[in-house]
């Protein structure tokens, strides 16, 4: 019996023990150094250790007037919204209101292409001659395997289409998340913005976070810096779009990350649901790599990316637009996370080094996420 147990232990992968998290002063110093190296004007950062928030800091400016970025400054969440949305969707699954693998057609009162083509409904009528939409499930949309481009408006003719059989491969699609929002609103009759507020933001104490613009955000709001150094005003998003409409603060996102790693749904959210088979995340519909060149440990979770590194299993989610760079990285060993919200897209060049400084080498697929970007060390 002892020999069998020893053999089983020997077969298990060996992962490095986690080093202590640097202290506040060391983190502050490294942030300042990397901001200078990347020319980033504003960055906010939170650290979670053992499932608890241990550091929240805001650095640099929130706008061109030089007003300081603060822990309660409202910043653009970008695609971190997708991970928050998936966290709430799993609550619906827990409640028995949604089945991840039931075709979404079963939740709708009429065929998807029969809904009007307007900003509130989406470009679903474009699928009138595409029967594969009936195969779509919540799991497929949350793992970016719908077959859609990132957004219909990015197609040359601005028409939504399916480029591959749903569920067969990963291809990033915000349109897929918006479709799931549509089904929950029209099929289950849920007010997504209000439900996420009630079931996620309020219980976690995220008082300055919303999926839609709030006027009380304006007095302490971050504008953003683009790659060329120009300033872009904060976009006051007037409707809920789960692909990326969230406004938040670093103090609130710290609470989100802690709640997430302590959630009963963590294993399901971050499991490797679907292999990732491309060299980089973008462009969305790039060719798949031959099997021997794929990273075997890289997979789609529900709203996040799962990976395995020196400390074992981890997951992450990025968020980006022309003047925003965000990342949320966690390793399950020790329930450790780093959350970064940057109101300067140039800060992304510092993310790999900053996460490594705090968590050690994690195995985050930075090259898959950012392609040929030149990182600062």
Provide the pLDDT confidence category of residue 13 given band limits of 50, 70 and 90: low
| pLDDT 10s digits, 113-146 | 999 876 656 799 999 999 999 999 999 999 999 9
Provide the pLDDT confidence category of residue 5 given band limits of 50, 70 and 90: very low
Whether residue 7 has pLDDT greater than 60: no
Whether residue 149 has pLDDT greater than 70: yes
359 vs 339: CA distance, rounded Å: 11
Provide the pLDDT confidence category of residue 3 given band limits of 50, 70 and 90: low
pLDDT at 2: 46
| pLDDT 10s digits, 37-76 | 999 999 999 999 999 999 999 999 999 999 999 999 999 9
Residue 196 class from Cβ within 10 Å (0-12 exposed, 13-18 middle, 19+ buried)? Answer: buried
Do 365 and 314 form a contact (C-beta atoms < 8 A)?
Answer: no
Whether residue 92 has pLDDT greater than 80: yes
pLDDT at 15: 84
pLDDT at 9: 36
Whether residue 365 has pLDDT greater than 70: yes
Do 353 and 362 form a contact (C-beta atoms < 8 A)?
Answer: no
User: Which H/E stretch holds residue 235?
Assistant: none
**What is the CB neighbour count within 10 angstroms for residue 279?**
15
pLDDT at 87: 98
Mean pLDDT value across the chain: 95
pTM above 0.85, yes or no: yes
285 vs 260: CA distance, rounded Å: 30
Residue 243's Cα: distance from chain center in Å? Answer: 9
* For the chain, percent of residues with pLDDT exceeding 70: 95
pLDDT at 302: 99
All domains in the chain, ordered by first residue: 18-76+219-370 (3.40.710.10)
């Amino acid at each position: 019996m002892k020999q069998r147990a020893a053999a089983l232990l020997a077969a298990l992968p060996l992962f490095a023990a986690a080093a202590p998290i640097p202290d506040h002063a060391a983190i502050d110093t490294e942030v300042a150094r990397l901001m200078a190296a990347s020319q980033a004007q504003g960055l906010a950062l939170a650290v979670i250790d053992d499932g608890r928030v241990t550091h929240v800091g805001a650095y640099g400016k929130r706008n061109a007037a030089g007003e300081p970025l603060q822990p309660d400054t409202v910043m653009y969440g970008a695609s971190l919204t997708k991970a928050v949305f998936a966290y709430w969707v799993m609550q619906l699954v827990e409640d028995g209101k949604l089945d991840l693998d039931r075709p979404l057609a079963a939740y709708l009162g009429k065929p998807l292409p029969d809904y009007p083509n307007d900003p509130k409904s989406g470009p679903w009528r474009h699928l009138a001659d595409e029967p594969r939409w009936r195969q779509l499930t919540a799991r497929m949309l949350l793992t970016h395997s719908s077959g859609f481009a990132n957004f219909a408006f990015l197609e040359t003719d601005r028409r939504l289409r399916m480029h591959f059989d749903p569920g067969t491969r990963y291809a990033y699609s915000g349109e897929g998340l918006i479709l799931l929002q549509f089904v929950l609103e029209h099929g289950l009759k849920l007010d997504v913005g209000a439900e996420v507020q009630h079931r996620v933001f309020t219980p976690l104490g995220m008082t300055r976070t919303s999926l839609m613009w709030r006027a009380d955000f304006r007095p302490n709001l971050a504008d953003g810096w683009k790659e060329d150094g120009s300033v872009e005003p904060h976009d006051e998003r007037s409707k809920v779009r789960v692909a990326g409409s969230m406004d938040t603060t670093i103090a609130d996102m710290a609470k989100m990350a802690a709640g997430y790693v302590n959630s009963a749904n963590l294993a399901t959210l971050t499991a490797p649901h679907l292999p990732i088979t491309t060299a980089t995340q973008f462009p969305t519909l790039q060719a798949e790599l031959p099997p021997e060149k794929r990273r075997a440990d890289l997979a789609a979770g529900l709203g996040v990316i799962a990976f395995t590194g020196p400390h074992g299993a981890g997951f992450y989610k990025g968020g980006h637009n022309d003047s925003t760079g965000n990342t949320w990285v966690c390793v399950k060993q020790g329930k450790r996370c780093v959350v970064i919200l940057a109101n300067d897209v140039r800060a992304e060049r510092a993310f790999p080094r900053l996460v490594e400084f705090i968590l050690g080498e994690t195995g985050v697929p930075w090259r898959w996420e950012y392609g040929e970007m030149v990182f600062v060390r």
